[in-house]
Amino acid sequence: MTTATGARGTGQATSGRRGAAKVRLDRESIVAAGLELAAASGSATLSVRELGARLGADPTAIYRHFRNKEQLMQALLDELNARSVATVTAPLDDWRARIRQLAAATLDLFADHPAIAVESVVLTTHGPGELDAIELMLDAFARAGLSGDALVRHYALLAGHVLSTAAGIARSRSERGANEDGTSPWFDGPILADPRTHPRIAAFGTQLTELEDRELFMLGVDAIIQSAERAAEASES
């Protein structure tokens, strides 16, 4: 196993004069490497040592640029948020399309970077990417005709659903793997239950296993959009 030493005798790229060739790091390059690593190895966890090896530097050097692993994960997650916002192309007026685009992009990016997505359940990044995402959603619901409590509540509902559901899908796909066509089931195994005690499960069991996670995810988004529409109608009158 040549696991940890790795960088030692390489002299890799940066003109190693007498063997060591210390690579120079900064937050940007670390974040970039973290995103690549999370995308490359579909693992649901990302270790500091792995990241150090990919950077060609000692793992602990990362702690010169991030206080914690948690802060590092925040930066990675915020970059994912920023990229999600960047994919939204629909005009400001079409608030429904903007919300759907943002949600879909978040799911795709999370599914491609499961190790980062997992952190999103609890983490608030406090970075610029998150701010842009919040602004986008608030603006969308404002253009939908909402205001005050109804607006912030619909935003919170949407944000919660998108982040936690996308994170869950990313995690379960990285452990169970997805189908070759990119789809993946929402339930993992067949559900076996005695029809005497669980008649409903017996009746609907097969339909449950046919549910597809992405479809269900977007269905939830649409449900929130429809709720916003109704709230807007109610406040208009």
Partner DNA sequence: CAGTGGTGTCAACAGTGTTGACAGCAATGT
Partner DNA sequence: ACATTGCTGTCAACACTGTTGACACCACTG
Contact partners, residue 176, CB within 8 Å, separation at least 6: 184, 188
What would the 3-class secondary structure string for the chain be?
CCCCCCCCCCCCCCCCCCCCCCCCCCHHHHHHHHHHHHHHCCCCCCCHHHHHHHHCCCHHHHHHCCCCHHHHHHHHHHHHHHHHHHCCCCCCCCHHHHHHHHHHHHHHHHHHCHHHHHHHHCCCCCCHHHHHHHHHHHHHHHHCCCCHHHHHHHHHHHHHHHHHHHHHHHHHHHHHCCCCCCCCECCCCCCCCCCCCCHHHHHHHHHHHCCEHHHHHHHHHHHHHHHHHHHHHHHHC
Taking the complex as a whole, the smallest distance from the CB of residue 76 to a copy of itself amounts, in Å, to 18
Which of 25, 75, 167, 170 lies at the binding interface for DNA (CB under 7 A)?
25
Taking the complex as a whole, the smallest distance from the CB of residue 224 to a copy of itself amounts, in Å, to 7
Give the residues lining the site for a copy of itself (CB under 8 A).
Answer: 121-122, 124, 126, 131-132, 134-135, 138-139, 142, 148-149, 151-153, 155-157, 160-161, 164-165, 167-168, 171-172, 175, 186-189, 191, 193, 197-201, 204, 207-208, 211, 216, 219-220, 223-224, 226-227
The entry of DNA, a copy of itself, none that residue 94 binds, CB within 5 to 8 Å by partner kind: none
60 touches DNA (CB under 7 A): yes
Site for DNA in 34-53 (CB under 7 A): 45-50
The entry of DNA, a copy of itself, none that residue 58 binds, CB within 5 to 8 Å by partner kind: DNA
Site for DNA in 94-133 (CB under 7 A): none
- How far does CA 232 lie from the centroid of its chain? 29
Site for DNA in 64-93 (CB under 7 A): 64-65, 68-70
The entry of DNA, a copy of itself, none that residue 218 binds, CB within 5 to 8 Å by partner kind: none
Which of 11, 41, 44, 63 lies at the binding interface for DNA (CB under 7 A)?
63
Instruction: Using CB under 7 A, list all residues that contact DNA.
Output: 1, 3, 7-8, 20, 22-25, 45-50, 57-61, 63-65, 68-70
